[in-house]
Amino acid sequence: YRREVLFDELDDPQDIAPAALIESPLYREGFSLQPWQQGFLTECLRHFSNHGIVRLLLADEVGLGKTLSLGTAALALCLLQDKDSGGRKPVVIFAPATLCEQWQTEMIDKLGIPCARWETQKKVWLDHEDRVISPAGREQIARCPLRIGIVSTGLMMRDSLEKQHLLSLHFALVILDEAHKARSRQGFGRDAGTPNELLAFATAVAERSDHVLLGTATPIQTRSEDLWDLMRILHKGKGRFVLGNEYSRWHQPDEVLPLISGQTNVVDPAFGWELLRSPLPVVNSTDEPRARRLFSAIRQDLGLNEQQTETSAPITQLSDDTREILEEDLERKISGATFFQRENPFIRHIVLRKRADLEASGLLPRIGVDLHPDRRYIRDTQRFDALFEGKALRTNDDFREAYREARAFGKALSKRGKGSGFMKNLMEQRICSSIAAGLNTARTLLAGRIVEEETEDQVIELTAESSEEKVALERLISRLERIDGDPKLQATIHFLNKEKWLDHGAIIFSQYYDTAKWIADSLAALYPDLAIGLYAGASRSRLYQNGESVSIERETLKKMVAEHEIKIMVATDAACEGLNLQTLGTLINIDLPWNPTRLEQRIGRIKRFGQAREKVDMLNLVNEQTVDEKVYDRLSERMRDRFDLFGSLPDTIRDEWIDDIETLGEKMDEYINAQREATGFDLRYNATAEPSDRDWRDCTEVLSQRDFAQLMRNGWA
């Protein structure tokens, strides 16, 4: 039995999230938050209780559902803020352009929360069905018609009026996803060490916000010091309790890194006191009994309440008993960890759970991945050898000539100078994805139309301008039109039929809609009796069956997969977040994103709860004699642990590494070693992964859906 209640009737902060979410799509469909996701919310509520303000970095490894953790926290903090202050301040989520739609979809599909998404090009707010819900104009960014707005970080990486409009607001909550992109500039130039545009903006917006949540699976990019960039965002404005006053040693990486990593142990009580008194931990910031006793004794000695998080009192003002407790604590190790490894601002404000730990504690199943193409696993070796040369697909002269023209087009593009660096690989990557994507892109450019390319940070628009560019495109089209059949389709059919992958069900991924649509069309023609899904961005999803294809909601496709009605699903990366496909047992990557995180997210769609197979199969398709082949060679050499393929790969392979392909392996190894050193900086944060003793399904009070909808539909104006 559940009783519907109004928002004002909910008194206990702990009740707000379950009351709001128990009727959400996630719970209605029989799912629930994972223990570590609920644990993150518990940690947010603890911080709210300790400080009235929440400043946290969620650094869970890829595939552990950060979006849902942050989304649930956003809901709880949004409602708590309303209850606490009565005022309704804006809530904003900043994410890379490629993730904004995923955020919007997951918030409505899983949590039932309608969010508005800012359309950077058209300067309007869109709802989750892509309908315009605001007037147009740059100033409208400050007038979101719903409570939660989602904005691309790409817009914050350049000077824009929109930035200024946002900085005129005061926010209840700011969420920054993929927060590692906000960092100090690297290298030795004049700008080295200064904040990049995103870091400067994030710092400014944190100063104008109550709560700040950051999300990234890679908080440390190349150096442990990278963490300070993110901690300084949390520290801004109302977050002084994060790193302490301006004299606090916690602001200085070179001084405290050896303490946090355990290389140095503090035994001198006077130095220990200097580190402890700013920021002074609240008693409730730790579950360790002896540390709680110490923090409580300090506050009693100095007459400090729980809200005070710094003191200038000398150690002589502590009682003899308290100083003795401090000395004992400094000398004591727990599981080999020193006092300041266990108790420091980083442990308090960074939540990090690792897949291996969750597997070890039985919260996540251990599922292996077999990598293909690999002749050792093959049933029909004769056909396999006709298709593959080593790990790459055989191609013909026409393809190789077309590829040369794609490179010539890139070279012509790079003559435009500044800003064309990223674009020079565009045609190459499209032709390596599929012949269909190569042809569509080249024809679009030749017709004088714009091709949009989304980078992690922004949307870039390209047109063909010079005669040199146009000649290269004409030659490329001429070569591609001569090719009879794409080897990627032949390889896909081989694995589905001869290697029996169809028996287990397959998810097929591409970076590009053109490629996804082509492969779905081709397979539908080959298997007319099978239901085949195309899962893509806004209103482009389709269902193929009995020789027909119809437009379909993504939700319907997901249900059909869950109910074993679809054995082949084709999807684009842009739509893949939140896609749970554990009923399918194989994965085919039609193209290879130069971004191991993206690959990891793809395999994460099937390597998850409910996967019936103890190991799943992943096929990576690259064409011979292309940059893709060389990149994949270097990647696969480093993907040896079938249970942890991506353990130490960089999250993105940088353009400059690709430019000098011979040293790519070297660059990746440098990165891997830096990561190893960095992860020796062990953030012990597994307590929040434990299952809660409270099952939300048992909650008896449900927030009135009308009340909930009204709260979420209150705009910023």
Per-residue pLDDT, 448: 86
Cα-to-chain-centroid distance, residue 448: 35
CATH number at residue 180: 3.40.50.300
Ranges of residues in the chain with a pLDDT under 70 are 1, 85-87, 98, 187-189, 221-223, 417-423, 454-460, 538, 574-580, 595-597, 607-610, 637-697
Residue 646, in any domain of the structure: yes
477 and 601 part of one domain? no
Q: How far apart are CA 115 and CA 99, in angstroms?
A: 14
Residues 691 and 642 placed together within one structural domain of the fold: no
Q: What does the H/E/C string look like for 578-637?
A: CCCCCCCCEEEECCCCCCHHHHHHHHCCCCCCCCCCCEEEEEECCECCCHHHHHHHHHHH
- Shared domain check, 99 and 20: yes
Residue 224 lies in a domain: no
411 inside domain: yes
Report which residue type is found at 605.
R
459 shares a domain with 511:
no
Out of 421, 448, 481, pick the residue that ends a domain: 481
The letter for the amino acid at 299 is: R
Judge if 170 and 50 occupy the same domain: yes
Q: For the stretch 524-539, what's the b/e string if a residue is b when 16 or more beta carbons lie within 10 angstroms of its beta carbon?
A: beebeeebbbbbbbee
Q: Say whether both 42 and 100 belong to one domain.
A: yes
Residue 355 lies in a domain: no
Q: Residues with Cβ < 8 Å from 314, sequence gap 6 or more?
A: none
Same domain, 425 and 324: no
Best CA proximity match to 246, nearest among 161, 302, 310, 194:
310
Query: Please, which residues have CB within 8 angstroms of residue 324's CB and are 6 or more apart in sequence?
Result: none
**Is residue 497 classed exposed, middle or buried when 0-12, 13-18 and 19+ CB atoms within 10 A define those classes?**
middle
156 and 14 share one domain = yes
Residue after which a domain boundary falls, among 411, 446, 481: 481
Query: Which residues form the domain of 415?
Result: 397-481
Instruction: Tell me phi and psi for residue 4, to 5 degrees.
Output: -80, 130
Q: Containing H/E element for 392?
A: strand 392-393
Number of alpha carbons in the 13 Å side-chain half-sphere of residue 69: 33
Instruction: State how far the Cα of 38 lies from the Cα of 694, in Å rounded to an integer.
Output: 10
Q: Which residues contact 31 (CB under 8 A, 6 or more apart)?
A: none
Total tally of structural domains belonging to the chain? 4
CA dihedral 705, 711, 715, 717 (to 10 degrees): 150
628 domain-assigned: yes
Q: Return the pLDDT at 87.
A: 66
Burial tier of 498 (Cβ tally within 10 Å: 0-12, 13-18, 19+):
middle
Picking from 540, 465, 530, 468, the residue whose alpha carbon sits closest to that of residue 510 is 540
- Residue 289 and residue 72: Cα distance in Å, rounded? 30
Asked if residue 698 and residue 631 are part of one domain, the reply reads no
Give the per-residue pLDDT at 166: 97
Rounded distance, CA 302 to CA 112, Å?
48
Q: How far is CA 32 from CA 109, 111, 272, in A?
A: 13, 10, 43
Domain contains 232:
no
Cα angle vertex 150, ends 144, 154, to 5°? 115
State the Rg of the chain over Cα. 27
* Closest by CA position to 185, among listed 226, 218, 233, 231: 226
In angstroms, rounded to a whole number, what is the distance separating the alpha carbons of residues 123 and 160?
12
- What per-residue confidence (pLDDT) applies to 358? 82
278 is a domain residue: yes
Specify if 26 maps to a domain: yes
Residues 650 and 666 grouped into a single domain = yes
Same-domain status, 431 and 385 = no
Strands of the sheet with 171-177, listed across from one edge: 124-126, 116-119, 148-152, 91-95, 171-177, 209-215, 55-58, 350-351
pLDDT of residue 105: 86
Cα–Cα dist 717/500, whole Å: 57
> Are residues 124 and 40 located together in one domain of the fold?
yes
Total Cβ atoms within 10 A of residue 231: 22
